[in-house]
Chains A and B, each alone.
Chain A
Amino acid sequence: MSVGDILFWIVGLTTALCAVMVVVTQHIVRCAIWLLFTLAGTAGLFFLLGLDFLGATQLFVYVGGTLVLVIFGVMLTATGPFIQLRAGAGEWAIAIIVGLLLYGLIALSWLFADWSKLPGSALPDDPRRMYHTEQLGRALLGDTSVQPSSVLPGVSGSRAAADKASGKLPEPPKRQASAFLLPFEIVSVHLLVVLIGAAYLARAKRKRVVMAPRESL
């Protein structure tokens, strides 16, 4: 077992444990803190996968933005009895049974899934062949000539030779020309519209309701 595997099990099991604790904890503020650890652990998993840009985005947007928003929501609404809203014991029993069944179903289907039937081939276990930030940005623009970051002449040649020696298909699968610039723009505008709408929805408007009849008189 390599260092990467040990790190994966530490980070992954911590993340899973924190996710379960989010469900189990009754206190809403502690829920938020467990959620913080879960999101940070997910970012750690992304870093372990070699997806550095994705991990950084997870830390910035989720841990830095969304979770702060959630904690503000907790602080604005956590008054008196709403800090601890409990579900009944029967509901807990049903939830645990349903959760375990659902997890068993998903885990079994993952364990017996045959990914080799998918188009394309499984990647060799080499994080240097990942798309890092530059390649990701060029792929976003639809640059189909983009290559994985470490396909340097020597590496590429040795891999092709190794594939030829082992009898596999030497040529990489032909990529469809897929540009993600338009979805990216749509998502950006969508986020802007949603944030403006959220600010409009959440603004305090009690005073205006009181003031309006007086002005109309």
Chain B
Amino acid sequence: MGNVGLTQYLLIGAVLFVSGVVCMAIKRNAIGVLMGVELVLNGATVNFAAFARFHEAFRVEGQIFALFTIVLAAAEAAIALAIVLNFYNNYLTVDVDSAEELKG
């Protein structure tokens, strides 16, 4: 397997990213879709952190962008959950397939 370096961390981050994309696409529960978004953002954070650790040019930027990503993910989760709860209050379901009122 060789020495653990940048590539190995990027591969783990890619697993998180792809899991999140598939999760967003396949879950029918709105909160499951939200979990997919969290996974994608986590994959991005792992990449930022790996570059912060293994590359001179990103030593500060990698960490700070990762921190921003974490904070923005928290904000996104809060607002998305508020929307999901509102949707549940109005329609008594969290199935994303039933949210079709704006469908053309």
Contact = CB atoms under 8 A, between A and B. Distances in A.
Interface of A: 1, 4-5, 8-9, 12, 15-16, 19-20, 22-23, 28, 31-32, 35, 38-39, 42, 45-46, 49-51, 53-54, 57-58, 61-62, 65-66, 69-70, 72-74, 76-77, 82, 85-87, 91-92, 95-96, 98-99, 102-103, 106-107, 110-111, 113, 115, 118-123, 125, 127, 130-131, 136, 139-140, 148, 172-173, 175, 178, 180, 183, 187-188, 190-191, 194-195, 197-199, 201-202, 204, 206
Given A16-B16, A201-B86, A38 B94 contact: no
B49 A23 contact: no
Nearest to A192: B75
List of 6 A-B pairs having minimum Cβ-Cβ separation, nearest first: A120-B57, A120-B56, A202-B82, A201-B82, A198-B82, A16-B15
Interface string B27-70: 11111101110110010011001101111111111011011101
Given A54-B66, A204-B89, A110 B14 contact: yes
Nearest to A13: B12
A140 B64 contact: yes
Interface of A is mostly: helix
